[in-house]
Amino acid sequence: MALLEGRDLISIFDFSDREIEAIFDLADDMSKHTRGRLGVADGMIMSTLFYEPSTRTRLSFESAMLRLGGEVISVADASVTSVAKGETIADTVRIVESYADVIVIRNPLEGSARVAADFASIPVLNAGDGPHEHPTQTLLDLYTIRREKGKLRDVSVALVGDLRHGRTVHSLAFGLARFGAKVTCVAPAGLEMPAHLLARLEHEFGCCPVQYPSLAEIVTNDEVVKRRPGRQRALASEVLSLFDAVYVTRVQKERFESEEAYQEAKSSYAITEKMIRKARPDALVMHPLPRVDELDYNVDRDPRAVYFRQAAYGVPIRMALVAALLGLRSVRIGKARKGEYKPKPRREVDFRKFADARCGNAHCVTNHESYLKPQFNLVEYAPGLVSCAYCDQEMPMPAGAKRD
């Protein structure tokens, strides 16, 4: 059954839970073919269109296509090319679709990959549309947990670091929530997970992350530790043992008011060699990379430090996605699980009478590509709000707007 053939991957919400699991099954298979050329994509061409450079993501996609047996035509930095001549995303992809069989796009405008998918007749994969979505990163993160722990459901995962600005960690939170994981959030003051995301996590997926200001605080509050207060100090460095996986994210100095504030916060989320040494043997330390100071280089040698394996899983995941969307490999979709997430048509809000209705997000693609008509959807978990159909930014529904 090749139900994924011809589809796009713009957001992880484009795929149902069992479609994601089918991709993971295929990635298990592809893992055996990450050296050599598999030959299933013979004669197929991938075009990478990167409007901002990203070495790792682009190389990973290109490696995946070559390992499958296909070829690549590559734009490593489109920011200085046709864009300067005023070529729109819609026009670019309608031209490039005649040069290639699949498009991988990264563009800093939020919602831009959706536009590419709307206009292209060949499959489009989103390799990052600004701070909005980066679905293949989320899939490889989830796949790493499934692969390393043998399961994805009912795992306990701590998200650590800057949870406010990270697109990666936001998407991962939703991915984990969809599969019923227990999520814990650890972020320094000011860098907590945004309230509207927490609201959506709870409303849509019944996921209510416990929140902590520091790693030490978790131990202090851990039930086991509470019962044995004498062990509190000893356990402070064993925080990694409380979770199946600790997902650390990059914390940038610029987010803090002063060097002092940064240095002070650092100790609250940084993973050190000492911490991992005391963690249980099957704990995972994950990181999307690149890192700054939050992950000591001395941790690298430890087998529980899986972040380089995590990056390496990017190849089989992207091989599986490309193979599935191009229909090169049949994908077995399992039976629907009760209550599983399925992409559903949104109830669109008719804004036609608000001729000047615009998305409030200055970086939304609709505010940069003039041929696009702004579109909004009702926000189910927050009556009175609408969200942009391209960048998902929420805004109040204008009085008198008609619902379809």
Both tokens of residue 333? 């979709």
Residue in 150, 229, 230, 290 binding its own copies, rule: CB under 8 A:
290
Using CB under 8 A as the binding rule, whether residue 92 contacts its own copies is answered as yes
Alpha-carbon distances of 265 from 161, 170, 221, 222, 258, rounded to whole Å = 10, 21, 19, 21, 11
Alpha-carbon distances of 261 from 190, 256, 267, rounded to whole Å = 11, 6, 11
Using CB under 8 A as the binding rule, whether residue 36 contacts its own copies is answered as yes
Q: How many residues bind its own copies (CB under 8 A)?
A: 55
CB of 48 to its own copies, least distance (A): 10
Looking at residues 357 to 386 of the shown chain, list those that interact with its own copies (rule: CB under 8 A).
Answer: 371
Q: Which stretch binds its own copies (CB under 8 A): 155-163, 203-211, 308-316, 379-387?
A: 308-316
Q: Omega into 290 within 30° of 0, i.e. cis?
A: yes
Q: Which of 140, 145, 178 is nearest to 13 (CA)?
A: 178
Residue in 2, 14, 94, 337 binding its own copies, rule: CB under 8 A:
94
Using CB under 8 A as the binding rule, whether residue 303 contacts its own copies is answered as no
Using CB under 8 A as the binding rule, whether residue 63 contacts its own copies is answered as yes
Using CB under 8 A as the binding rule, whether residue 75 contacts its own copies is answered as yes
Residue in 104, 315, 364, 379 binding its own copies, rule: CB under 8 A:
315
Task: Say how far apart CA 176 and CA 178 lie, in whole Å.
Answer: 5
Alpha-carbon distances of 108 from 104, 229, 234, rounded to whole Å = 14, 49, 45
Q: Which stretch binds its own copies (CB under 8 A): 85-93, 147-155, 236-244, 375-383?
A: 85-93
CB of 118 to its own copies, least distance (A): 13
CB of 302 to its own copies, least distance (A): 14
CB of 98 to its own copies, least distance (A): 3
Nearer to its own copies (CB atom), residue 308 or residue 381: 308
Residue 230 phi, psi (nearest 5)? -60, -25
Using CB under 8 A as the binding rule, whether residue 112 contacts its own copies is answered as no
Q: Is the dihedral of CA 256, 258, 259, 263 positive or negative?
A: negative
H-helix or E-strand spanning residue 184: strand 182-186
Cβ neighbours for 36, distance < 8 A, ≥ 6 positions apart: 67
Nearer to its own copies (CB atom), residue 53 or residue 396: 53
Cβ neighbours for 202, distance < 8 A, ≥ 6 positions apart: 208, 381
Q: Which stretch binds its own copies (CB under 8 A): 61-69, 160-168, 205-213, 264-272?
A: 61-69
